[in-house]
Amino acid sequence: MPARLSFDRVATIYDATRGLAPRAMARVLGVLVDELHGKRVLEVGVGTGRYAVPLQKSGIRVVGVDISRSMVEFGLAKGLRDVVFADGAHLPFRRHAFDAATTNHVLHLIADWRDVLIEIARVTREMYFSIIERSQRTDSIQRDYDALVREAGYEYHHPGIHERDLPDLVKPNLVIPVGPFHEVATSDTVLEEFEKRSYSCQWDVPEDVHRQVMARLRKSWGGKEYRRVYTLEVTFWRIDRLGELAKAPPKNREALPQKR
């Protein structure tokens, strides 16, 4: 089976390190509830139910699929329902079982992401969507971390493709922007997340490289205010477009900061 990255190791901190601010989440959920009203929805990579739980509580019928039992256990504790443990490239559902399907910050973890899209197209009738974050800042701790790791002679590439890059492959049928949102945090909080290797791009970095990079990051970022401005795009493709996405050649582009 091609590579998959399980999030068991960060299940306890996933929501704290990836969650949207309440205002941003409320705005996104408002869009989703309007668009998904009366539809049966599949989420591949449901995890802790970051989107599925509030959608289910809003009356949207959502079925989740995941491979990480630890992540799902946290979702169940929050009220997540209707979860199936399965591989996204081999979905245990009949043809057109769902009206809509989604993945969010998942495809970059899966080497055979094209097969996942093909399977989603098989079991879905109408549309595929993803919530894509667009950051407006040109500097970030993650960008600096990645650059320093490369400078030390190590470079990591995720096995799949980020959902944020899909619109470059095939133009979406509908994009609903939400935001912009302005957030302020202390850089020390973000540095602590990176110190603990909270993100999958860090997991294979050699320990000596990680320590050296963190020391340099603390010198340059420690004690500062960390501001970011971002917009969320609720992005939809008609389900027949997934075949185009699955066949489209990937484009080379510089990775934008996005915590996963």
pLDDT for res 159: 86
pLDDT for res 258: 43
Q: Do 100 and 127 meet the contact criterion of CB atoms below 8 Å apart?
A: yes
Spell out the domain ranges in the chain. Answer: 8-247
Residue 6, φ and ψ in degrees, nearest 5: -90, 145
What is the DSSP code string of the chain?
A: ---B---GGGTTTHHHHHPPPHHHHHHHHHHHHHHHTT-EEEEET-TTTTTHHHHHHTT-EEEEEES-HHHHHHHHHHT---EEE--TTS--S-TT-EEEEE-SS-GGGBTTHHHHHHHHHHHEEEEEEEEEEEE--S--HHHHHHHHHHHTT-----SS--GGGHHHHS--SEEEEEEEEEEEEEHHHHHHHHHTT-SGGGTTS-HHHHHHHHHHHHHHHTT-EEEEEEEEEEEEEEGGGHHHHHHSPPPP-PPPP---
Q: Give the fold, CATH level 3, of 8-247.
A: Rossmann fold (3.40.50)
Q: Per-residue pLDDT for the chain (260 aa), expressed as one digit of tens each?
A: 554 566 766 766 666 667 788 899 999 999 999 999 999 999 999 999 999 999 999 999 999 999 989 889 999 999 999 999 999 999 999 999 999 999 999 999 899 999 999 999 999 999 999 999 998 766 788 899 999 999 999 988 888 999 999 999 999 999 999 999 998 888 999 999 999 998 888 888 999 999 999 999 999 999 998 888 899 999 999 999 988 888 887 655 443 344 44
Q: Do 214 and 249 meet the contact criterion of CB atoms below 8 Å apart?
A: no
Residue 128, φ and ψ in degrees, nearest 5: -120, 140
pLDDT for res 210: 95
Distances (CA, A) of 62 to 29, 55, 57, 166, 225: 13, 7, 10, 23, 38
This prediction has a pTM of 0.87
pLDDT for res 212: 96
d(CA 8, CA 10): 6
